């Protein structure tokens, strides 16, 4: 499906809403968000199509039950209409009975060229390994087909539809609006645009002219495809609706297969590159050596440089996934995670303690010169007192002497490193 929003929230209804309430909510919102009613709102068409998608699911009891249990994930693999690529007029035509024959602003436009059926959308999930090599999948889906019994007419074999008296077999009626100021052409509310009325309905299709058929299709998924990309299979959608072509003559719609790539806990994908984490011990990070790295092609051996730090990156060329256009493979980016053990054996603790002691700097030697300097200063005080008293520089000389004798803090730091 094209939207991930909650269908009940889109229609503004509760989860226990009855079918008629779902119908009324959709009709109200579809008219509200019709692009013709909102010419200056670029988001209106998107909201209109979201409402149509929500209504298609919630109006079908079987699909609604699946959605209630599993959400959007439960609808994967179940084909639905691709409202994102459909025209607004086609959506109005699809749910024409809800709008009483009105077709918004485009109901009066006649079909140009051959009639075209609706597109379908379904979802397939593949693995990252299948992205590497490409794959072929059986895609099951349902689509409407022309009834084989009545050939799309909707009438019981041996009987024929009669011309609609309301529209005179035109499928459209003209209505006056605003007191006759203009005329609006809309789909006939009686025959729903089919131009005929069926009295004796076909027992196979209940007069619809179409039947839901289960179909399987083998589809090739190209290598290098990304998550949410679409594979389009032309002509595998639905035939034109009975209002446009009762016998299905015209151009079939397409089948859009949305490819979802399953998450792989080993890798994270960025374009054609893959990212993985390599856990190493701090001993291997410090000493370096050969390490094993898991890739999409299997286990690869490479050398780890000595002194590798936590969080460092290195690349394995050509070990990513192929580019969808060029076919050239990207790289595998390896992020080093240095692991610190939480529990140590006695032997490990002994070795690590020895390593820590070896890494710590030796304590600085005890400084005995300060006492000697202090003794010399006190003994020379008497002998130099007279000179200091006479010259007036005795105090400054004493301060200079003490600073020259003491190494100070930064001196001790330098001594501890042997500089």
Q: Encode pLDDT of 106-143 as tens digits.
A: 334 445 568 888 899 899 999 999 999 999 999 999 99
Query: Does residue 395 form part of some domain?
Result: yes
* ∠ Cα 321 324 299 (to 5°): 10
Could you tell me which residue, 240 or 37, shows the higher pLDDT? 240
Could you tell me which residue, 92 or 227, shows the higher pLDDT? 227
Residues 302 and 391 reside in one and the same domain: no
**What are 335-374's pLDDT values in tens digits?**
999 998 888 899 988 988 888 888 887 777 766 555 555 5
Q: What is the mean predicted confidence (pLDDT) over 96-105?
A: 46
Predicted local confidence at residue 91, as pLDDT:
60
Q: What is the mean predicted confidence (pLDDT) over 162-182?
A: 75
Residues 106 and 1 reside in one and the same domain: yes
Residues 345 and 398 reside in one and the same domain: no
Of 89, 110, 131, the last residue of a domain is 110
Of 81, 110, 139, the last residue of a domain is 110
Query: Does residue 396 form part of some domain?
Result: yes
Residue 329 scores a pLDDT above 90: yes
Candidate from 186-190, 352-356, 401-405 with smallest mean pLDDT? 401-405
Residues 344 and 412 reside in one and the same domain: no
Candidate from 178-187, 260-269, 380-389 with smallest mean pLDDT? 380-389
Predicted local confidence at residue 416, as pLDDT:
42
Residues 312 and 381 reside in one and the same domain: no
Residues 326 and 349 reside in one and the same domain: yes
Of 54, 77, 110, the last residue of a domain is 110
Residue 31 scores a pLDDT above 60: yes
In the chain, the percentage of residues whose pLDDT exceeds 70 is 75
Q: What is the mean predicted confidence (pLDDT) over 55-66?
A: 88
Domain count, the chain: 3
**What are 190-208's pLDDT values in tens digits?**
887 888 888 899 999 999 8
Query: Does residue 222 form part of some domain?
Result: no
Query: Does residue 132 form part of some domain?
Result: no
Query: Does residue 136 form part of some domain?
Result: no
Query: Does residue 50 form part of some domain?
Result: yes
Provide the residue range defining the domain that includes 339: 268-359
Q: What is the mean predicted confidence (pLDDT) over 381-402?
A: 45
Residue 172 scores a pLDDT above 90: no
Residues 52 and 106 reside in one and the same domain: yes
Could you tell me which residue, 156 or 381, shows the higher pLDDT? 156
Predicted local confidence at residue 109, as pLDDT:
43
Residues 375 and 319 reside in one and the same domain: no
Query: Does residue 220 form part of some domain?
Result: no
**What are 232-262's pLDDT values in tens digits?**
999 999 999 888 888 999 999 999 999 999 9
* Bridge partner residues of 417 (DSSP): none
Residues 355 and 373 reside in one and the same domain: no
Residue 48 CB contacts under 8 Å (≥ 6 apart), including other chains: 30, 33, 34, 35, 88, 91
Residues 296 and 327 reside in one and the same domain: yes
pTM: 0.61
Predicted local confidence at residue 279, as pLDDT:
94
Residues 2 and 106 reside in one and the same domain: yes
If we measure between CA atoms, which residue out of 277, 334, 336, 340 comes closest to residue 308? 336
The CATH number given to whatever domain includes residue 281 is 2.60.260.20
> Is the four-CA dihedral 304, 310, 314, 316 of positive or negative sign?
positive
Query: Does residue 226 form part of some domain?
Result: no
The CATH number given to whatever domain includes residue 93 is 1.10.287.110
Residues 6 and 102 reside in one and the same domain: yes
């Amino acid at each position: 499906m094209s939207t991930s929003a909650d269908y009940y929230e889109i229609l503004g209804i509760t989860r226990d809403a009855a079918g008629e309430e779902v119908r009324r909510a959709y009709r109200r919102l579809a008219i509200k968000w019709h692009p013709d009613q909102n010419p200056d709102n670029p988001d209106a068409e998107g909201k209109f199509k979201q409402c149509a998608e929500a209504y298609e699911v919630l109006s079908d009891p079987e699909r609604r039950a699946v959605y209630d249990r599993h959400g959007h994930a439960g609808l994967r693999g179940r084909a639905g209409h691709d409202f994102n690529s459909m025209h607004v007029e086609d959506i109005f035509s699809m749910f024409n009975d809800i709008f009483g024959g009105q077709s918004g602003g485009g109901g009066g436009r006649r079909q140009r060229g051959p009639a075209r059926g609706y597109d379908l959308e379904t979802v397939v999930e593949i693995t990252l390994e299948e992205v590497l090599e490409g794959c072929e999948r059986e895609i099951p889906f349902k689509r409407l087909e022309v009834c084989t019994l009545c050939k799309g007419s909707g009438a019981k074999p041996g009987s024929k539809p009669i011309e609609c008296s309301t529209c005179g077999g035109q499928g459209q009626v003209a209505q006056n609006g605003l007191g006759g100021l203009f005329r609006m052409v809309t789909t006939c509310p009686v025959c729903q645009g089919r131009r005929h009325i069926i009295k004796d309905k076909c027992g196979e299709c209940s007069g619809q002219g179409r039947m839901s058929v289960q179909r399987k299709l083998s589809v090739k998924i190209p290598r290098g495809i990304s998550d949410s990309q679409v594979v389009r299979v032309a002509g595998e959608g639905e035939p034109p609706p009975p209002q446009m072509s009762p016998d299905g003559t015209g151009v079939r719609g397409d089948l859009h297969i949305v490819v979802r790539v399953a998450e792989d806990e080993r890798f994270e994908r960025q374009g054609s590159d893959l990212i993985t984490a390599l856990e190493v011990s701090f001993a291997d990070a410090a000493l370096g050596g050969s390490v094993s790295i898991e890739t999409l092609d299997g286990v690869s051996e490479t050398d780890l440089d000595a002194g590798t730090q936590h969080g460092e990156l290195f690349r394995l060329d050509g070990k990513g996934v192929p580019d969808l256009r060029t076919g050239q493979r990207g790289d595998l980016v390896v992020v080093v995670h240095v692991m610190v053990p939480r529990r140590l054996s006695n032997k490990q603790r002994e070795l690590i303690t020895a390593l820590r002691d070896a890494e710590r700097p030796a304590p600085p030697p005890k400084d005995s010169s300060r006492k000697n300097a202090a003794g010399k200063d006190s003994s020379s005080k008497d002998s130099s007192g007279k000179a200091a008293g006479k010259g007036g520089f005795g105090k400054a000389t004493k301060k200079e002497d003490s600073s020259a004798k003491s190494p100070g803090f930064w001196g001790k730091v330098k001594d501890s490193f042997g500089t």
